[in-house]
Amino acid sequence: MAEEKKENLITVNIDGQDLQVPAGTNMVEAVKMLGKEVPHYCYHPKLSIAGNCRMCLVEMGMPGKDRATGEPMLNEDGTPKIMWMPGPAIACGTNAAPGMHIKTNSPKAVESRESVTEFLLVNHPLDCPICDQAGECKLQEFSASHGRGYSRFIEEKNVKPKRTRLGPRVTLDDERCILCSRCVRFSQEIAKDDVLGFTDRGSYSTLTCFPGKELANNYSLNTVDICPVGALTSTDFRFKMRVWFLKESKSIDLESSVGCNTVVSSREGKVYRVTPRRNDEVNDTWMPDSGRELYKQIESEDRLSYSTVNGSQTSAVEAIKAAAEILKGEGVAIVGSGRNTVEEQFVLKQIADQVNAKGVYLVARYGDGDGILVSKDRNPNVRGALATGLISDLPAEQLSVLASQIDSGEVSTVLASKEDLVAAGLSEEQLKKVKLIVIDTHASATTKNADVAIAGLTQFEKSGSVINQQFRIQKFHKAVPGPVGSIDDLAALSAIQASLSGETFPSVVGTVWEKIAAEGNIFEGLSFKGIADTGVLLDGSAFSGLAFVEGKSLHFEPKLEAAAAE
Amino acid sequence: MPIVVKRKPLTFLEKLYIPEIVRGLTVTFRRMFFGETVTLEYPEQRPPIPAGYRGVPTLVRDPEGREKCVSCQLCEFVCPPKAIRITPGEIPEDSDYSHVEKAPKEFDIDMLRCIYCGMCQEVCPEEAIWLQNQYSMSGYTRAEMVNNKAKLYELGGTLPDEHFKWNKKKEAAANGGDHGHGPAMPPADMPRSENPEVPPVYPK
């Protein structure tokens, strides 16, 4: 394999430096490998090449050949003579060829870039103080680094509509558009929802939706991410906060088992937006719109901000003590969740072993898979529960087994984490029959009936890891502190386990991982720190007999179907 | 070898002290009745403030009464003691200035933190924040020492400049720059900025 790759390498010369690149690499990527940058707007590594912004102009040349003899032409010193093209070429649309020479900083290339920048700025408004893109705007950056630094334009600028509604989540500021067509190509190629196009010509050109259509698909906000200027703006984030204030934390989209990599942007304990993070093995550079709204759960009205024992407010420490006391009794059942992190599921498993649990359940949560980045399984971490040994088979949507156990009196105590048992098929009468301990973030019928309710944290307020549909373990980090009165779910579970077993138990992800790795299952040799930012692929072959529900999606082929195809 | 300075013995008049008292009182009474005063009756009297003085930061309006701040938050970013806090907001579409789009919803400057450095004024792309000649702030509570948006505009007043930067956009639309699909035509009595008669001279 490695040898095959080597054979495909070709040598190009960039600004006098020889570089080996794989065949088929375009010049933008080749120059990037050298640590330099060719400025570009319309080129996007995950989209087709349009070549319409002209910003990536470079000078290129090929070794000359004598037409009569076919012999390579040589300089006097014996080096191959380079026949430079008379005009510059676009680096995004030209693939590297053996022996190709590229000049990215020659006077001609610099002059080309300055001229293109000048043309792009002719009708671009001086909106930077009110533009949401300012600070992460390619046009702003490249105008500074590749522009002339002054304007020769004394005519009046074009005026175009400033707040066109393209869809429920996207607002278009037409004046700022530089017609790179990234959004058009994204809609056609990735979202497969061809709704955007340009109408009119020249300075009249306008980005519009086709008549009767709107940019409403679940991937519409990706067009905002890839817009190199501030033309496409997120209606939700519009005018909320300047980007240079935002602290970025690496996170994971926990809405389904795809596990898109994300960046959570927050300032002073408040999350402002969630954007995708590039992971070529999972989500490329995209994520669904639905996952971007998850941060709103942090400040939702029904958020639990304190723990209760028998309905009265108490400290988390007292609640944990009461919970541990209850769990020391007989007939305990545990309801974990596919929304728990691997670490929480591991500690739940320890608790289940400690109390000799009569049953350990998960609640399945199914929706429609869209074949791109939302899968059928809306639990982000069912595979984590399997891998930690919390459950051994795929969960059911209803807790009917637990219901009959309660009715027969076999189960008299239930510990539930992040699940609403009423929504999962138990009646309130059944809940009243048992001693109920709940760790959750939001109020529900279950927390109302709980003897002990412990206020936990959302994914934005804690760190942890989840295993996605590919059996790739990915970690997310704490972005903002939790509300006063809440406690990290993992710390709460660890404290309960410590109290039950009478031994100390680690309560933060780093130390819990030492225990997880020591178990000798598929996590062997891993540590929380050792999980790469793009995740680590685990060996899921032990679970290949299970009928996972996910269908085909981006970078994922369901194993059963693959086996059936063979 | 130490030097011994011999003290001159006092004369008779010096021993009386009275001539010296009279001499001192002469100066006192001359200043009291005939001389110019060098002190000010602060706070009733205030000293003249030199141009360019850096007093309390304020927000200003333009001669049309439009608030100049567009809440770009650059002052908040540059402020060394983090005294400025802005909550941005959107100008409603039915406003005359809807084409400016953005204005602060809240704008707080904590005068207990402010160090009067003038960075906010320097960085402001809209010339909306100015350190003017107000120099004394006092209050009984910490909360009183935080100037909110209303207070800042009250302190700031109107800046008599003639840029009308944002009107140029409406003018461009009126002159056909919108190709017929731009924002509404500006009102006829809208003040117009002067067009540059002489083209500017560029470097190189």
Tens digit of each residue's pLDDT (9 = 90 or more) over A325-356:
999 988 999 999 999 999 999 999 999 999 99
Report helix, strand or coil for B174.
helix
**Model's pTM, two decimal places?**
0.87
Phi, then psi, of A303 in degrees rounded to 5 = -65, 135
Examine the pLDDT at B192 and tell me if it is beyond 60. Answer: no
pLDDT digits (tens, 9 = 90+) for A541-555: 889 888 999 989 999
- pLDDT (mean) for B179-202: 42
> pLDDT value at position A563?
53
What is the separation of C-alpha A15 from the centre of its chain, rounded to a whole number of angstroms? 36
The two tokens of residue A49 are: 């090449």
pLDDT digits (tens, 9 = 90+) for A203-260: 888 999 999 999 999 999 999 999 999 999 999 999 999 999 999 999 999 999 999 9
B126/A contact by beta carbon, under 8 A: yes
Kindly list the distances between the CA atom of residue A225 and the CA atoms of A285, A307, B58, in Å, as whole numbers in the listed order: 9, 39, 36
What is the DSSP code string of B34-73? TSPP-S--TTTS-PPPPTT---SEEE-B-TTS-B------
Structure ipTM: 0.85
Angle at B169 between CA B167 and CA B171, to 5 degrees: 70
Please tell me which of A73-82, A275-284, A547-556 the model is most confident about, judged by mean pLDDT. A275-284
Q: Cis peptide before B43, with omega less than 30 degrees from 0?
A: yes
Question: What is the dihedral sign for C-alpha A284, A288, A289, A291?
Answer: negative
Point out the residue among A158, A206, A244 whose CB comes nearest to the CB of B177: A158
Report helix, strand or coil for A437.
strand
CA–CA separation, A324 vs A498, rounded Å?
A: 9
Residue A392: DSSP 8-state: S
Interchain pair A163, B101: CB under 8 A: yes
> pLDDT value at position A154?
84
**If you measure CA to CA, which chain A residue comes closest to B169?**
A159
Q: Are B45 and B37 in contact (CB under 8 A)?
A: no
**If you measure CA to CA, which chain B residue comes closest to A174?**
B182
Residues of B in contact with A245 (CB under 8 A): 73, 76-77
Interchain pair B199, A154: CB under 8 A: yes
B77/A contact by beta carbon, under 8 A: yes
- pLDDT (mean) for A173-200: 94
Tell me the one-letter amino acid at A508: V
Interchain pair B90, A238: CB under 8 A: yes
Q: Are A263 and A276 in contact (CB under 8 A)?
A: yes
B173/A contact by beta carbon, under 8 A: yes
**Closest approach of chain A CAs to the CA of B40, in angstroms?**
44
> pLDDT value at position B110?
96
Q: Are A453 and A430 in contact (CB under 8 A)?
A: no
